[in-house]
Every structure is written in C-alpha cells, then in structure tokens.
C-alpha cells in the first residue's frame, strides 16, 4: 500500500457518541409515554430524523429539532411547553457531555503521527465536532478536521481533491460500513472497519463486504501492524 493520508471518523471511532443518543432517546420515550408506547415513539422519531437529514444534516442539534417535530406529530400538537423545554435540555446535556476516548486511539495516533498525514473526516455539526476535537486533546495529531455534510463517494472525492492525493493513497478508518467503508472502496481507496458495540440504524447495512482494500478489525491499534507490513 502506498498510503499518504489516513482519515479517521470521529464519533464512535475516536470517542464515544451513540450511547448518549440512545440514553437521550429513552428519556424521550418516557416523555411521550402518554401518547404512544416506546417502540412506536422510536419508529416515529426515526422517520422524522431521516426525512430531515437533507435539511438539518447530522448531529445533536439536528437530532433535537427532529425530536421536537416528532413530539408535535405524536401528540397532534398538544405536547406541553414544559415537554419542549425538556427536549431542549436533553440537547444541552448531550452537548455538554465530557469526551470519552475509545481504547487504543491515542496510542494509534502517536504511532502514525509524522509518518502519514492524519485527518478527521466526520459528519455532524461543525461547531460541536470542532469542540469535541479540542476537548479530546487529540487535535495536535491531525492535519485538519473535515466536517462533511454527508459521506457519499462525491463527498470523499472532493476531500481528496483538496488533499491533492489519489484514492489509492487514501485510507479511511471508522465504525460505519455505510459511511466510512463502502464509498471509499467504490472510489478505489482503502478502508478499515472497527465496529462499535452500538450503531445508529441509519448507518447499518444488511450485506457483507468482500474487497481487497477492506479490513475488518477488533481494535483501532491493529491499524499500526497493518501499515507496518
């Protein structure tokens, strides 16, 4: 491999993220229990989130806006002002969560830093992702942070053009097969999948991947051995 740039997904690859969403969603189920059972609330919220992706994009703020919209729909616009205030508080609590690094992340970055150009390639809210990177203490390892509106092949192509490299010189590391792996393989790049114990339903796929440039790993530290071959 002639890798020059290694990109890391942020949420649930560098630090913990999805469990906070699931924790908040359970609070939302309780808030809406007078209207629908939890499984029905989950279904309605997910429907609203997916419909809003093209408008709000990804991240906590988008999630909270969708939660408010779902509350209005579920309650047929009878939900109380107090409940809306609670949903807004849920969002503020999520934004204030301390950063919890995933095991092996800093050791891996230390080993690769200086040998490759390292970047963060993530979806989400621009301000929130920059804040997380700053608070993580990992910022000095990275050439820059790329907060993408989506992670389709065209989005990766634009990023590689800015980095002035070919797809064959690029490796993406992340926990989502749908966003971090498939688009990169399709364009001729390399991708490593490091599963996290919980993944948002929108990021899941229902088929296996077989590709010469694809690696499935248990821990992010396995990247070091792969690149040292």
One domain for residues 24 and 119: no
* pLDDT at site 67: 97
Query: Where do the DSSP E strands lie in 34-189?
Result: 117-123, 144-148, 170-174
Listed as own residue / partner, the contacts of 37-42 with beta carbons closer than 8 Å and 24 or more positions apart are 41/70, 41/74
Collapse the DSSP code of 138 into the 3-class scheme (helix H, G, I; strand E, B; otherwise coil) and give the result.
coil
One domain for residues 113 and 222: yes
One domain for residues 192 and 113: yes
Name the pLDDT band for 207 (thresholds 50, 70, 90).
low
One domain for residues 163 and 106: yes
We report the CATH number of the domain holding residue 175 as 3.40.50.1000
We report the CATH number of the domain holding residue 68 as 1.10.150.240
Question: Domain of 199?
Answer: 5-15+100-227
Domain boundary among 63, 95, 127: 95
One domain for residues 124 and 223: yes
One domain for residues 76 and 112: no
Q: 102-138 pLDDT, tens per residue?
A: 999 999 999 999 999 999 999 888 899 999 999 999 9
Domain boundary among 44, 68, 95: 95
Both structure tokens of 203 = 């990021």
* pLDDT at site 229: 67
One domain for residues 172 and 67: no
One domain for residues 10 and 54: no
Q: How many domains does the chain have?
A: 2
Both structure tokens of 15 = 């630090």
Assess contact for 39 and 206: CB atoms under 8 A. Answer: no
One domain for residues 110 and 76: no
* Torsional sign, CA 228, 139, 196, 104: positive
Both structure tokens of 204 = 């899941």
Domain boundary among 95, 112, 127: 95
One domain for residues 205 and 161: yes
Residue 2, burial from CB neighbour count under 10 angstroms (0-12, 13-18, 19+) = exposed
Packing angle of the helix pair 18-31, 60-74 (nearest 10 deg): 20
One domain for residues 132 and 194: yes
* pLDDT at site 196: 83
Q: 130-186 pLDDT, tens per residue?
A: 999 999 999 999 998 999 888 899 999 999 999 999 999 999 999 998 889 999 999
One domain for residues 11 and 84: no
């Amino acid at each position: 491999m002639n890798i020059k740039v290694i990109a890391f997904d942020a949420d649930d690859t560098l630090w913990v993220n999805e469990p906070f969403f699931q924790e908040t969603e359970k609070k939302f189920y309780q808030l809406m229990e007078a209207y629908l059972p939890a499984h029905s609330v989950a279904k309605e919220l997910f429907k609203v989130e997916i419909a809003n992706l093209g408008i709000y994009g990804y991240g906590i703020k988008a999630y909270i806006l969708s939660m408010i919209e779902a509350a209005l729909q579920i309650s047929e616009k009878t939900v109380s002002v107090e409940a809306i205030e609670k949903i807004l508080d849920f969002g503020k609590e999520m934004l204030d969560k301390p950063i919890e690094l995933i095991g092996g992340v800093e050791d891996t970055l230390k080993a690769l830093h200086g040998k490759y150009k390292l970047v963060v390639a993530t979806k989400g809210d621009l301000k929130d992702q920059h804040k997380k990177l700053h608070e993580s203490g990992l910022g000095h390892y990275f050439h820059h942070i790329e907060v993408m509106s989506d992670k389709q092949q065209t989005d990766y192509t634009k990023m590689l053009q800015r980095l002035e490299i070919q797809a064959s010189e690029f490796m993406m590391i992340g926990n989502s097969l749908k966003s971090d792996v498939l688009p990169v393989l399709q364009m001729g790049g390399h991708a490593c999948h490091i599963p996290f114990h919980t993944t948002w339903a929108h990021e899941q796929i229902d088929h296996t991947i077989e590709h010469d440039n694809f690696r499935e790993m248990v821990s992010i530290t396995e990247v070091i051995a792969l690149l040292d071959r």
